Amino acid sequence: MSLPPLVEPAEELTRDEVRRYSRHLIIPDVGVMGQKRLKNARVLCVGAGGLGSPALMYLAAAGVGTLGVVDFDTVDESNLQRQVIHGQSDIGRPKAESAADSVREINPYVDVIIHNEALTNDNVFEIFGQYDLIVDGTDNFATRYMVNDACVLLGKPYVWGSIYRFDGQASVFWAEYGPCYRCLYPEPPPPGMVPSCAEGGVLGVLCASIGSIQVTEAIKVLTGVGEPLVGGLIVYDALEMSYRKIKVRKDPNCAICGENPTITGLIDYEEFCGALSTEAADAVVGSTITVKDLDEWIRAEKPIHLVDVREPAEYEIVKIPGSTLIPKGDILSGQALADLPQDRQIVLYCKSGVRSAEALAALKAAGFRDAVHVHGGVSAWVKQIDPSLPAY
Ligand SMILES: [Zn+2]
């Protein structure tokens, strides 16, 4: 299905612009008209991270006239393995500002708008309202559902992508012409079920594979060229080196774009996606210690059994001294329970405190009543107790 161009053409291209974009202008399907549409286009990139990096760089190079960047984070050394819009000298800088500098360097004719803030229910309509199309490069479910709902409610198309380890997905969601994200994923996965890239890792170059699909689709929608990926889902497997295209249908019962929508405004997305499962949320009450508590316990030689519930590769990078590795899966399956000492208090930790909370719920259910977990995990330990350890 081809769709009409989203954007009206700008009045003219300058001589400099004609020179710069000549390789576009000589493609018959794009031509001067398509380039004028790009010049008039206003695109917002949510997140200047893994997907946002190639997306912003190629949208800028392509001549999208106005590019917005929304990101509240700062550049960390662990970002540079994939977030190629930032460089070594940008470490510690706001990502939105660092990205804007790169965009200006790639193409001075692009007007960059910096939104150095977190996207929230309070500002999402106001920010999205300034743009024709949204490119979603977020890495968490709460923001993803918020982006979807805001786009559906405002009638805007958005190009979505997601990456994990060697796998990627991409689609164009546009409720007016096809399905939305909720049609494909009506419910978020249970908390703790789907690890983030920070927990599970991502092959850096995967960002380019999926980000380039997103930019390609954005350009197609803006200019009306070809058939946009509305109603289609690309599933990319880097290990097999395969791209599969799957049909996605609009769900007539979709909560927001269906025939009888139950969601007519923004909702509480943190609650909807749940930071913790109910069991884990119950388990941590009264059974959570801080890294300072743990540090004191270790110094006082309190007889505890400290268990790291992350994966072996993470344990190899950094661990709290004196800990034993038992991946969360082995605790949840019950396989590791027999090896745990009965005579000492069990203290669990992970990277941030989510996985250890899930493991704590399983331990308590198995009878380890005095087990506790460490709030903030090894990340908090590195920050507050021993900054000489590597953060990841
Ligand atoms: Zn829908």
* pLDDT computed for residue 191 by the predictor: 64
* pLDDT computed for residue 273 by the predictor: 83
Q: How far is the CA of 251 from the centre of ligand 1 (A)?
A: 6
CA distance 221 to 217: 6
CA distance 376 to 357: 10
* pLDDT computed for residue 188 by the predictor: 86
Q: Which residue has the tokens 């660092």?
A: 98
151, 180, 254, 350: which one is catalytic? Answer: 350
* pLDDT computed for residue 139 by the predictor: 87
Q: How far is the CA of 225 from the centre of ligand 1 (A)?
A: 24
Long-range contacts formed by 309-313: CB under 8 A, 24+ apart: 309/348, 309/349, 309/350, 309/355, 309/356, 309/359, 310/199, 310/350, 310/351, 310/355, 310/378, 313/201
* 350 part of the active site: yes
Q: What is the DSSP string of 291-328?
A: HHHHHHHHHTT--EEEEE-S-HHHHHH---TT-EE--H
**Contact between residue 52 and residue 69 where contact means Cβ atoms under 8 Å apart:** yes
* pLDDT computed for residue 354 by the predictor: 86
* pLDDT computed for residue 293 by the predictor: 96
* pLDDT computed for residue 106 by the predictor: 98
Polymer length in residues for the chain: 392
DSSP 8-state symbol, 201: -
Q: Residue ranges of the chain with pLDDT lower than 70? A: 190-194, 274-275
Q: How far is the CA of 264 from the centre of ligand 1 (A)?
A: 12
Let me know if 15 is exposed, middle or buried by CB neighbors in 10 A (0-12, 13-18, 19+).
Answer: exposed
* 197 part of the active site: yes
Characterize 102-114 residue by residue with b for buried, 16 or more Cβ atoms within 10 angstroms of its Cβ, and e for exposed: bbeebbebbebbb
* pLDDT computed for residue 218 by the predictor: 98
Q: How far is the CA of 183 from the centre of ligand 1 (A)?
A: 4
183, 197, 254, 257: which one is catalytic? Answer: 197
DSSP 8-state symbol, 278: H
Q: How far is the CA of 114 from the centre of ligand 1 (A)?
A: 30
